[in-house]
Amino acid sequence: MKKISSDDEAVTFSCEGDCSAYNMAYITYGDKKTNHDFAFNRCTSGWYVEENELMPYTYTENGKSSSIEYEDITLTVGEYDKFIHVWKPDDYDASSDEKYSTIYFLDSDIISSFGTEQVRAMMSSTNRKAIVVAVENNFARNYELVPEIGVSRDEEMFGELKYDNMNGSEFSDFMADTLVPYVQKHYNVYTDAEHTSIAGVSLSGLEAFYITMEHQDKFGTLGGLSPSFWEYDAATWEKYLKDKSFNENSPFLYFYTGPEKLDTDPDVTDMYNRLKKMGYPEDKMVLHFNEKGTHRGSFWCCMFSEFLTAAAFHRIEPLQK
């Protein structure tokens, strides 16, 4: 790490060095240490440390990049509106021959707080171009982000809720059949699955996984951080997945979780092993189990660049030897 600047409130570091041997790092400065370890990889540019908490930072020779600004879109679905927020890099060129990858965020109010800056950091560090499409799910998310594949273990909480909006299965089709075509028509992006990825945390991690399984021709990389696979039991998942086709063209799946009672394991590890047993290509899956992790945004923030590494390179070293 290289210290870039400091003041009374924060210290800023750029990330430099060989990341092939280590996938995690932490920062010490003076007598202080950051509260969490963070992912250390090719997509990491820097970190802004305030009161021992980490926020992503894009290092440039001219200092910190400009503030994040979104273009707002409203798409009508049935009888209600979905609010979408699109981020484009400052040098976005709508007419260039070189296309942009598309990275979809579910739970935009959570992931956008740290994810978009990390996409910008990825671009700065790797020269890979991308836009972000962040989807709001805060209204009735417990309904919209739960696919209907069986009887939920949490039927007591979710089963009786009725809203004038989509369930998780309908939302999946909205993503693939409405939003993706809209983005590909109005922005200078690739139209193949290889350059299209989707990420979610907790319930939206569950839904992002479902969307990826349902529309493997549209989404080439999944980022499932602490996905709520516990919503359904093993028998329900096996029944759902048994008819899916897995091969060398299947999407790259990145899973992250922490320990039982603090995060969403053992269900995430069970899902990883289940997919492997069902023939999912092992070189297309990564599971990062963090024994110190909890079900909090601060941990997802620290690990998000691993998902971006998967989206950019379809490989995460040294998790994949």
Distance of CA 99 to the CA centre of its chain: 21
Runs of H (alpha helix) within the chain? 108-111, 115-126, 141-144, 155-158, 168-174, 180-186, 203-214, 234-241, 267-277, 297-313
Domain ranges of the chain: 65-313
**DSSP one-letter code for 175:** I
Pairing of strands 80-87, 101-105: unpaired
Give this prediction's pTM: 0.91
Looking at the chain, the whole-number percentage of residues with pLDDT higher than 90 is 62
The CA-based angle 136-140-146, given to 5 degrees, is 90
The verdict on domain 65-313 having CATH code 3.30.43.10 is no
pLDDT band (50, 70, 90) for residue 4: low
Lowest mean pLDDT among 8-17, 272-281, 292-301: 8-17
In 3-state terms the chain splits into helix, strand, coil percentages (rounded to 5) of: 30, 25, 45
Q: Supply φ then ψ for residue 302, to 5 degrees.
A: -70, -20
Which of residues 24 and 229 earns the better pLDDT score?
229
